[in-house]
A and B are shown apart, each in its own frame.
Chain A
């Protein structure tokens, strides 16, 4: 029983890192411009497809392909920001929610037309590693490593580069930042791009060990909401922590009840946190 629990917990935590990266993308966008990006899910799915296409058509190693997917995610963010979000950035929340949701519909619609909804797989078996009584697939271990690397890179970017500091300034107080000469629209677009980049990368990592379709982003989007609220909307470190908590819960809960109760607990917790402590564990922006 104990060994099973430890095994489940480890699996959950490994996955939790990847969840955290995805959630960081969402929380960054919220933190900087108070927009909840409802196109988050489809961007994750596009990351999955990007890695898959690079692997099957160009033979690129999925892990190297992630760099290309990251750049693509960044560019996509700029496009979505310019096309949909910029005009409604100062409008009531409903407008930006619906605007990003319409982008969601557009991406899913185009994706379904191009790729159909049949499941795809990346066949890149790397075997498993045995650590004591734990059997860990290498793909999941590498995904965790990738997640940690991207998190570290984001942190370095936000705290040690000029654009990063500009982003933090705009997140803090947009008017003041503009007064200081920071081009806020460009910075907002960059932040959105970073957010979608993280989402795409998370998708790419997930595609190395799970099958996927263009609709697979949906569940991860929902998980990202839960994680962001858990950790505090707008707080990237909170997102990572929230991801680990969620992953851990997903690993532990099945030991005590049928696995299909996990979503009930997840969303029940979600609503509870919203009601009791909407600023989350580490405080919202």
Chain B
């Protein structure tokens, strides 16, 4: 009987010992956080969307190579991506995000590219209580719908083209007439509504204000409505339609002093338009010539987090054999933001990470990141600013220069016409 008692005691002690060992082992075990998203690998948004996931995938590769994140309790967190092709279609987005959450058990979500698709995904994310960081989605309207878990990386649409008006007044103080032609989707509509209000406040006359259906190929009816004495043509939508619009503006010989369009001009691929690209200004979330870094961060009293501009440019070019555009930067910085939030929260649980996101106020290679916390516009990006680029010629070749604001300038802006 005594022997039995000793056996029991030693068994119990052994049990406790192994349990403790197990606990420690579990804590040191690597955890994989699944990041779920869809990408428009095919369909009309594919140019911008592929850039975005290139950026995101580069971040995941780099963070895993560095060993992942280390949490205060010792857990090593690595990241894995789970994604599907949404074919640039809204129904696919809603089906697939539901799948990512329920079947693939994604922990955090990144939005698809474009405000329209991101908006569709946001509903699903909020319905199932998952944090989603939106990249490539600038429309303000998404953040006015009462969501609490959706966070925006891009400067909102309402601040997209207002700088172009400021630039125009600098280039030609006599300019008065602006024509606005835009895609009829959430993003572009938000941009031009804010643009029109700002232009009129500054004393400009908006001589044309019309929208075209997404997927339009024939812009002649719109171009024909632009008065011959217009000073600036602004607007556009996404890459496919905007580049066609730019091409047809050139073919029809529009004689405006400024042509400022959305999304397409900052993309390196825009140079394929040749002469039609020359002089076109684009609103950009980020350019490789950006001067964000530890010094500019210190000046604003912020902490600088993550990769530097130069390193991002270099590693992106090495991996993808192309120049990064702001869409690539947006994809990459989503990862940086998520990692920072997890680190500050010390956990991967949604409520704790949410709190860290709400409190975030940092500088990154992409710029200042801070989110709106008020219930009315929760998640809106309030820290980040736009720059404006223009296609000019250096030694006969087309190059993209930053022309506004003057603090970020690499070249002075030129007129679209006369060239």
User: How long is the Cα–Cα vector from A15 to B46 in the complex, in angstroms?
Assistant: 29
Contact A258 B274 (CB under 8 A): no
CB-defined contacts of A255 to chain B, threshold 8 Å: 224-225
Please state if A213 and B44 are interface contacts (CB–CB under 8 Å).
yes
* Interface flag for B26 (CB, 8 Å): no
B88 at interface by CB-CB < 8 Å: yes
Q: Does A128 sit within 8 A of B, measured CB to CB?
A: yes
**Is residue A119 contacting chain B, with contact meaning CB distance below 8 A?**
yes
Say whether B43 contacts A254, CB under 8 Å: no
Bound state CA distance, A121 and B274, in angstroms?
Answer: 14
> CA–CA, A259 to B184, complex, Å?
12
Assuming A117-B88, A259-B212, is B251 touching A128 (CB within 8 A)? yes
- Given known contacts A116-B42, A118-B42, is B251 in contact with A216 (CB within 8 Å)? no
For the complex, give the distance between the alpha carbons of A128 and B253 in Å: 8
| With known contacts A7-B224, A216-B217, A125–B274 Cβ distance under 8 A | yes
Q: Which residues of A contact B210 (CB under 8 A)?
A: 258-260
Partner of A259, one of B88, B222, B251, B252: B222
Contact B225 A254 (CB under 8 A): yes
Closest to A11 in B: B220
Q: B221 near A259 (CB under 8 angstroms)?
A: yes
Q: Quick one: which of A8, A11, A211 contacts B240, CB cutoff 8 A?
A: A211
- Please determine whether A118 and B225 come into contact, CB atoms closer than 8 angstroms: no
Interface size on B, residues (CB 8 A): 26
**Smallest distance from the beta carbon of B375 to chain A beta carbons, Å?**
35
Asked if A117 and B224 sit within 8 Å, CB to CB, the answer is: no
Shortest distance from the beta carbon of A254 to any chain B beta carbon, whole Å: 4
Query: Are B220 and A212 closer than 8 Å at their CB atoms?
Result: no
B361 at the interface (CB under 8 A from A): no
Asked whether, in the complex, the Cβ of A8 is within 8 Å of the Cβ of B87, the reply is no
How far apart are the CA atoms of A260 and B42 in the complex, in Å?
26
Contact partners of A254 in chain B: CB under 8 A: 221-222, 224-225
Residues of chain B lying within 8 A (CB to CB) of residue A213 = 44
Considering only CB atoms, which chain B residue lies closest to A210 in the complex? B217
B218 contacts the other chain (CB 8 A): yes
A4 at the interface (CB under 8 A from B): yes
Q: Is A137 an interface residue (CB 8 A)?
A: yes
B181 to A, closest residue via Cβ: A259
Which residue of chain A is the closest to B213 with respect to CB atoms? A260
Within the complex, which residue of A8, A119, A216 is in contact with B221, where a contact is CB–CB below 8 Å? A8
Chain B residues positioned under 8 Å from A4 (CB to CB): 224-225
Per the bound structure, the CA–CA distance linking A7 and B217 in Å amounts to 18
Residue interface bits A1-17, CB-to-B below 8 A is 1, else 0 = 00010011001000100
- Are B252's CB and A211's CB within 8 A? no
Question: Would you give the 0/1 interface string for B238-275, flagging 1 where the beta carbon is closer than 8 Å to chain A?
Answer: 00100010000001110000000000000000001010
B346: Cβ under 8 A from any A Cβ: no
Whether, in the assembled complex, A135 has its beta carbon less than 8 Å from a beta carbon of chain B, the answer is yes
A193 within 8 A of B: no
Residues of B within 8 A of A258 (CB): 210-211
Instruction: Produce 1/0 per residue, A209-221, CB < 8 A to B.
Output: 0111100100000
Docked Cα-Cα span, A116 to B40, in Å, equals 11
Contacts of B240 in A (CB 8 A): 119, 211
A251 at the interface (CB under 8 A from B): yes
Write out the residue numbers on chain B whose beta carbons fall within 8 Å of the beta carbon of A135.
251-253
Chain B 186-228 residues near chain A, CB threshold 8 A? 210-213, 217-218, 220-222, 224-225
Q: Give residues in B with beta carbon < 8 Å to A.
A: 42-44, 46-47, 87-88, 184, 210-213, 217-218, 220-222, 224-225, 240, 244, 251-253, 272, 274
19 A-B contacts, Cβ less than 8 Å apart?
A4-B225, A15-B218, A112-B42, A116-B42, A116-B46, A118-B43, A118-B44, A128-B251, A128-B252, A128-B253, A137-B251, A210-B217, A211-B240, A212-B217, A254-B221, A255-B225, A258-B211, A259-B225, A260-B213
* Given A8-B225, A254-B225: 11 more A-B contacts, CB < 8 Å: A7-B224, A117-B42, A117-B87, A125-B274, A130-B253, A135-B252, A212-B217, A213-B44, A254-B224, A260-B184, A260-B211
Task: Give 10 nearest A-B pairs by CB, closest first.
Answer: A116-B42, A210-B217, A254-B221, A8-B224, A11-B220, A118-B46, A137-B251, A119-B240, A117-B43, A135-B253
